[in-house]
Structure 1
Amino acid sequence: MGFMDFFRKKNSGEVAKDRLKLLLISDRANCSPEIMEAIKNDIIKVITKYMDIDSEGLDIQITQTESEGGNGSVPVLCANIPVRDMKKRS
């Protein structure tokens, strides 16, 4: 990814793909796309206090996994966050 990629406008296909991905994720989590978008924005807000990240490359998914107690499956939030650099603490 080059420097100019940050300024490019997404085409309608990319926007539609992002919306569909968000809809599928929210369906798995049994919550609205608005809530999933709010979660994503909150994660970005918190992480950027400490790291320089590629927020366009952030990927959030909710999957199912077996609980530790063997009581069935539970939802799990998985976030792939591309980190560019750590911020310096002053």
Structure 2
Amino acid sequence: MLDIMKGIFNNKEDVSSKDVAKERLRLVLVHDRIGVSPEIIEEMKEEMIEVISKYLDIDNDRIDMDLERQDNSVALIANIPVRRLKKKR
């Protein structure tokens, strides 16, 4: 699951096994904290990208979305490069 998320949302090719293990632990802790499974998080990200894509032409190859702990809360951090606004139909 993590490898799929890394492939979709990150362009980092040189990831050490230490970094992968650290990221897995971080994701487990975040998911435990908010009580949502990794599958649900992944589904939410995909749906958000789908909705944003209706209105904006985005660079799918450079999308970076992640959950991060900030103090006593969890934040969804998204970097979605926008090429242009789509014209209304």
Regarding TM over 0.5, the answer is: yes
Please identify the structure whose Cα radius of gyration is greater.
1
Q: Which residue of 2 aligns with 1:29?
A: 30
TM-score if structure 2 supplies the norm length?
Answer: 0.60
- Which has the higher relative contact order, 1 or 2, with Cα contacts under 8 A spaced 6 or more apart? 2
Q: Which has the higher helix share?
A: 2
Structure 1 residue ranges (4+ consecutive) displaced by more than 4 angstroms after TM superposition = 22-25
Gaps of 5+ in 2: 8-19
CA separation in 2, counterparts of 1:57 and 1:25? 22
Identity %: 36
TM-score if structure 1 supplies the norm length?
Answer: 0.59
CA separation in 2, counterparts of 1:52 and 1:40? 17
Q: Which amino acid aligns with 1:42?
A: E
CA-to-aligned-CA distance 1:42-83 (integer Å, 9 cap, x gap): 1111101110111222111111223xxxxxx11111111011
CA distance 1:85–1:54, change in 2 (3 Å): same
**C-alpha RMSD of the superposition:** 2.9
